[in-house]
Structure 1
């Protein structure tokens, strides 16, 4: 039974549609006032109907006071890691230490190509992500000017900074063995999604991460485990997160106890909207008659 000793965190990822921008901000504020920990945004820069993820995260950070914000996950092929490092650190300063950085190796390569981005094989994309992490960490580390020599990314003496307000975590969306091993060796967190990695596959994936961490001389405890899931209060609990609140509590508790998953992010727009509606409805006054 893995116990990585992490505190439990809960959050949501909000819809970034340009035509429903108000909904994204409203849900983020509701998550903030409801006591959730995390608000995230998907990053698909090649889709013209969506708001830019980093701009939306900046506005969400400005409109909230306690939740941490992060891209879930940043589309690395279209976001230069050196610039991304400075952007994340800057928003962390402006938000009072409320930024984390979710990163992905890339997907939907046809869409990336339409934006002038690179076309990479699976192996090249993992190598590029590895190099990007080195670039980002170099610019977050005070001291000597950063130097990274990579096939896809490089730093040629760039000055580090600005210094983030807190140690920003790099959380990777990883599924296959090489990505899982990179997570164990170089990342601060693992951020898979239920549709691509169902709960019954978490044990094997966690094992790969832990082994890679140990091989790199790291304690597996250093890596937070978070889980993206879609859910509904409909159903009877026969499927994951498809049932009443009691089912959610039981299933999420089981993941925390048996798999060491200490972070849960749900896409539950309908659910959150129902909660928002209830909060907006005046409580009936008791009558003494």
Structure 2
């Protein structure tokens, strides 16, 4: 997991149809009015119903004063790189430094041929793209003349200029391994789209780019990570209130730092929700997490401190099956974990032998619920207003989504364990899950769910909990206990990860996954219920959210 430390930027991917040109310009102006940073349009010169990308970008730039504009992405086979370099630099001068350059190797080759372009093989198109980057950079240089001797593009004493108003970034859209290696070697940014590169594939893409950058003697952080995103697919999946957390998660774990919302004509409501609700909260969450990372001790030490803090504040140290949790909050092993079972509120964790199917609480426990501290009781004489209740409801909404996804995960595990479906058959089911769309294996989905829970808890630890402690000191014992439980839940999640690793090499590994997910179910649902019982009222009363 990598955070490259780039400043977060947000923008729009606007429609390019000529029939709705006025609507596109209106959305561009709205993008600026809402405080976003970028506006982009696609470039398909062979598409008769689309406006020319550079002409449209020039008009957008003329009607705005702060937006940066860029093609998403420029069609290189139909735009000679020498002319493209001058066009980008010229518009950058005219806009005072508000132009970036998205580049693509080309697609839809029959249509390109119909416009007089050369048809290239996949390998040749990547070679041409790398040569084009060299041509563009040569014409943006301060040299007196430029020479590039390539197979596809050449410069023979061309004079660079005009100089751009700022260093224009070259952001390349690509998804295949060879393209990713090219991005690592020469590009300033990677620009994938969520429909083609879903969230679970970002890790592999980033790894390939980083490896190529290091091999070329570059710092991987020299490559900005951008992402074209669409509502309904991660990181904008599930209830809108979760979008900011998903965006922050990608910034902190995958280094994605620029998010471009695909906006349809008439998509004002989605654009406003993105700009007014998602963007500011995502920025705040990432800033808080980065600030905390500068002062946070190593994970094991942090967990030990958290548990010790919980104990000293009046909450006993988290325990498991009668024994103390080792340093770092590790979950002791042992004891069969039956499948299924709801989690009742309150009380110690026990296994109910009266249930014939093993449903109920687990025999293995990770803490003593009876030792949980409680906060101040609500004052019945001062009822919460509707706005205050909505503030506390935000936490419940986030938790409800985690519960729903956990239930889907448990159901999937049970179906695989019962032989009702195999891992391949699980694909269509997992594709309907909002937490991580397009994850098609049980292992990928389990891993993704664990990461989402961990990120949610990290955000609470570095952003929500410090504010609660400062706003009402009476909540300190409760908050300390909740933070300590976060570290123990992290250990339970690691048990799920370990079971998934074992499942790869063991045909009967699903049994261990089933046990680990069962323990996660009891632990997480118990924690969520405790947190809601203690924090929903204070969050509303103190207007923290």
TM-score by length of 2: 0.49
- Pairs within 5 Å for 1:33-52: 33-52=33-52
- Pairs within 5 Å for 1:136-155: 136-155=136-155
The aligned counterpart of 1:287 is none
* Matched position secondary structure for 2:58: helix
**TM-fit CA distance, 1:5:** 1.1
**TM-fit CA distance, 1:211:** 0.8
Cα distance in 2, alignment partners of residues 261 and 44 from structure 1: 26
**TM-fit CA distance, 1:277:** 9.5
Matched, 1:265 2:263: no
**TM-fit CA distance, 1:267:** 0.9
* Matched position secondary structure for 2:256: coil
Cα distance in 2, alignment partners of residues 127 and 133 from structure 1: 10
- Pairs within 5 Å for 1:33-182: 33-182=33-182
Cα distance in 2, alignment partners of residues 208 and 275 from structure 1: 33
Contact 1:231 1:268 in 2 (8 A): no
Cα distance in 2, alignment partners of residues 208 and 273 from structure 1: 37
* Matched position secondary structure for 1:182: helix
* Distance verdict in 2 for CA 1:31–1:113, change over 3 Å: same
Cα distance in 2, alignment partners of residues 102 and 276 from structure 1: 22
1:274 pairs with 266, 269, 272, which one? 269
**TM-fit CA distance, 1:158:** 0.2
The aligned counterpart of 2:11 is 11
Contact 1:173 1:191 in 2 (8 A): yes
Cα distance in 2, alignment partners of residues 244 and 195 from structure 1: 19
Write the deviation string for residues 52-107 of structure 1: whole angstroms up to 9, x where unpaired. 00000000000001111000000000000000000000000000100000000000
**TM-fit CA distance, 1:240:** 4.5
Matched, 1:217 2:217: yes
Cα distance in 1, alignment partners of residues 242 and 38 from structure 2: 22
* Matched position secondary structure for 1:64: coil
TM-score by length of 1: 0.91
Matched, 1:252 2:247: yes
The aligned counterpart of 2:331 is none
Cα distance in 1, alignment partners of residues 129 and 271 from structure 2: 38
* Matched position secondary structure for 1:262: strand
* Matched position secondary structure for 1:36: coil
Cα distance in 1, alignment partners of residues 32 and 142 from structure 2: 32
* Matched position secondary structure for 1:263: strand
**TM-fit CA distance, 1:244:** 3.5
The aligned counterpart of 1:22 is 22
The aligned counterpart of 1:281 is none
* Matched position secondary structure for 2:244: helix
Cα distance in 2, alignment partners of residues 265 and 100 from structure 1: 14
Write the deviation string for residues 209-267 of structure 1: whole angstroms up to 9, x where unpaired. 011111111111111000012215xxxx8x65234331211211111111000000011
Matched, 1:231 2:231: yes
Cα distance in 1, alignment partners of residues 180 and 271 from structure 2: 37
**TM-fit CA distance, 1:195:** 1.2
Q: Which protein has the bigger helix share?
A: 2
Greater RCO (CA < 8 Å, at least 6 residues apart): 1
Contact 1:11 1:36 in 2 (8 A): yes
**TM-fit CA distance, 1:115:** 0.3
Cα distance in 1, alignment partners of residues 215 and 46 from structure 2: 37
Cα distance in 2, alignment partners of residues 192 and 13 from structure 1: 13
Matched, 1:191 2:191: yes
Write the deviation string for residues 4-51 of structure 1: whole angstroms up to 9, x where unpaired. 110001111110100100011000000011100110000000000000
Structure 2: 5+ residue stretches without partners? 274-545
Structure 1: 5+ residue stretches without partners? 279-289
Contact 2:112 2:118 in 1 (8 A): yes
Instruction: Please provide the CA RMSD for this pair.
Output: 1.6
Q: Which protein has the bigger strand share?
A: 1
Contact 1:82 1:139 in 2 (8 A): yes
